[in-house]
Structure 1
Amino acid sequence: MTDQSLFDQAFLALQRRRARARATEGADFLLRHVAEDLAERLAAVSRRFSVAVELHGHTGIVGERLLSSGSIDRLIRIETDPLLIGQSDGKVASLETVPLEPETADLIVSPLSLHLTQDTPGVLIQINRALKPDGLFLGAMPGAGTLGELREALIAAESELSGGAAPRVIPFPDIRDAGALMQRAGFALPVTDVDTLTVRYSDMFGLMRDLRAMGMANPLSGRSRRPASRALFLRAAELYAERFSDPDGRIRATFRIIHMSGWRPHESQQKPARRGSATVSLADILKSTSGEY
């Protein structure tokens, strides 16, 4: 890892181990939300998947939910730490690596990790390569606008108190970037869409506790290593409440989840429509590529 790395991968792994050890009840709501959404999308595909891979799902919640759908025969979990895999069938690899032989997986799902990779195009290319022809990739990652309220409150408070602001919330990709990455990686029939989830808290500190419990503490390599002052967080909490609270006094936290779908190219797939012609929904595309061959 070079000094130019955007994310501190060792710190990320540590945060996920700590989150696994804490296992705070209810703090996994975001992964559970994504798990249900991915299960619904998979239900639109009328086929069985002999070998499915959960790529850095952190807790295994997504893999368990997909297994319960009855569409998967075998699930392999890939994580950064053996402690995260537990007794599951799995492999250990960095966020940058997909340790699978070419054309060995029928389905690969990536829940809430792709945005933390240094070389996202390279990871997507590896995923495509690991899929069998006509294999399916389903991904979900936080997108632009996620935690926008927290970002604004922290920047405003720190600028007010010290005249500058250190990066405390990571940058999130735009949906257009996600679509371009899918095309660049060579997926057939790539589709992207956004799901917005708004969660309410009594104050900013409740949100921050959940983020730590999710293993989502700031992993930026360029983050300040000096502990932030109590005054900073108190002022940020005040600004958050002033700008983003509902009439009952509770604050809002926004999570915008970008969903991605793409297939390993196969001659039986429908060809993309002429540029500028009418579009189809994700469900239509999933159904149209899921018949018997």
Structure 2
Amino acid sequence: MQSQPEPSRIFDRTLLARRRRRFAGRVSEHDFLLQRVADDLAERLAIVRRTLPLAANIGAHHGLLSERIRGLAGVKRVIDLDPVAALLARSPADLRVVADEEALPFGDETLDLAVSALSLQLVNDLPGTLIQIRRALRPDGLLLASVLGGTTLHELRAAWLAAEAEVTGGASPRVAPFADVRDMGALLQRAGFALPVVDSETVTVTYSDPLSLMREIKAMGASNMLIARRKTPVTRSLLLRAAEIYIERYAQSDGRVPATFEILTLTAWAPDESQPKPLRPGSASARLAEALGVPERKLDE
């Protein structure tokens, strides 16, 4: 029998770092999703009417996001933080720090901006990490981050579950459990952020076959790192059956297979007295009916 993992530990972070280190030299060949997210976060930051001179890129990978945001919203300096030194070595950031996202080295109220692209969904203590980020931000400082959402790779998850149930009579966790929009909004509020907003975008990528998708995930250093995963090697028959089921269920008319990535984008502010506050219920000075130009009618008792 396999021992049950601690509830607070979902991911084997040591294994994750080892895999990302192994593929660090080829990271730019498989960063299409990171590029898309970095472009989106840069567009969002470009419309922020604040001056945010000191930024930290948390879980920076090879510094792609840092390149995009420098100069936007008055950003003058960017600190890249990542637990994998081999990835940071490829970053062009002004300052680079080897540290884990779960143990941030920033002092209280030292940052104007915290950004993160496709890293925070793999920390074990996301509430704790968000609290650390909020504390590191100066009042009215901004958090702008993207994480993978709950429908990410649902096709691959379903194919593996069906194949294992058929071949081995059981199932092992193989695709990470990611949060949904409501979960992330609640976590931002719990961490003490003000004005939290979370939105979702679905990105669908197609591959020639399921094995090509699995190879890409491996090259991203993102293959199964769940603590509860089955530790025995995957058999050839199980792998091929999972691929067959994937094709049977999801193949398109041209034979290619889709892979879904849900991107959740988080925007939130460190609290500050200058920020707008919700009005007390019943304190409105104008009637909604007047603003809409319609007659006002009371609801039946």
TM-score, length basis structure 2: 0.87
* Alignment map for 1:189-228 (pairs within 5 Å): 189-228=195-234
Between the aligned residues of both structures, percent identity stands at 50
1:107 and 2:113 are equivalent in the alignment: yes
Which of 15, 18, 27 is 1:14 aligned to?
A: 18
Q: Equivalents in 2 of 1:273, 1:197: separation in Å? A: 38
Tell me by how many angstroms 1:270 deviates: 1.2
* Alignment map for 1:241-280 (pairs within 5 Å): 241-272=247-278
Tell me by how many angstroms 1:95 deviates: 2.6
* DSSP 3-state at the match of 1:23: helix
- C-alpha spacing 1:158/1:68, structure 2 compared with 1 (3 Å): farther
Give the alignment's Cα RMSD to 1 decimal. Answer: 1.7
Q: Equivalents in 1 of 2:189, 2:138: separation in Å? A: 18
Q: Equivalents in 2 of 1:69, 1:17: separation in Å? A: 30
Structure 1 contact 48–73 (Cα < 8 Å) conserved:
no
Higher mean Cα deviation, 167-176 or 70-79? 70-79
Max Rg structure: 2
Q: Equivalents in 2 of 1:116, 1:6: separation in Å? A: 9
The aligned residue for residue 47 of structure 1 is 50
The aligned residue for residue 151 of structure 2 is 145
The aligned residue for residue 288 of structure 1 is none
Structure 1 alignment gaps of length 5 or more: 276-293
Tell me by how many angstroms 1:160 deviates: 0.6
The aligned residue for residue 296 of structure 2 is none
* DSSP 3-state at the match of 2:201: strand
Q: Equivalents in 2 of 1:244, 1:81: separation in Å? A: 35
Structure 1 contact 114–120 (Cα < 8 Å) conserved:
yes
Q: Equivalents in 1 of 2:28, 2:188: separation in Å? A: 34
Q: Equivalents in 1 of 2:279, 2:230: separation in Å? A: 48
Structure 1 contact 144–172 (Cα < 8 Å) conserved:
yes
TM-score, length basis structure 1: 0.89
The CA deviation string for residues 101-151 of structure 1, in whole angstroms up to 9 with x for no partner, is 110100001211111111111100000000011000011110111000000
Structure 1 contact 24–213 (Cα < 8 Å) conserved:
no
Tell me by how many angstroms 1:273 deviates: 6.2
The CA deviation string for residues 201-257 of structure 1, in whole angstroms up to 9 with x for no partner, is 010111111111111111111111111011111111111111111111110000001
Higher mean Cα deviation, 143-152 or 265-274? 265-274
1:75 and 2:81 are equivalent in the alignment: no
* DSSP 3-state at the match of 1:261: strand
Aligned residues: 273
* DSSP 3-state at the match of 1:49: coil
Structure 2 contact 209–257 (Cα < 8 Å) conserved:
yes
Structure 1 contact 17–83 (Cα < 8 Å) conserved:
yes
Tell me by how many angstroms 1:24 deviates: 5.6
Structure 1 contact 11–219 (Cα < 8 Å) conserved:
yes
* Alignment map for 1:56-67 (pairs within 5 Å): 56-67=59-70
Structure 1 contact 189–272 (Cα < 8 Å) conserved:
no
The aligned residue for residue 284 of structure 2 is none
1:84 and 2:79 are equivalent in the alignment: no
- C-alpha spacing 1:213/1:236, structure 2 compared with 1 (3 Å): same
1:160 and 2:166 are equivalent in the alignment: yes
The CA deviation string for residues 152-207 of structure 1, in whole angstroms up to 9 with x for no partner, is 00110111111111111111111111000000001110000001100000101111
1:174 and 2:180 are equivalent in the alignment: yes
* DSSP 3-state at the match of 2:109: coil
Amino acid at match of 1:84: L
Structure 1 contact 146–256 (Cα < 8 Å) conserved:
yes
Which of 98, 101, 104 is 1:95 aligned to?
A: 101
* DSSP 3-state at the match of 2:206: strand
Structure 2 contact 48–73 (Cα < 8 Å) conserved:
no
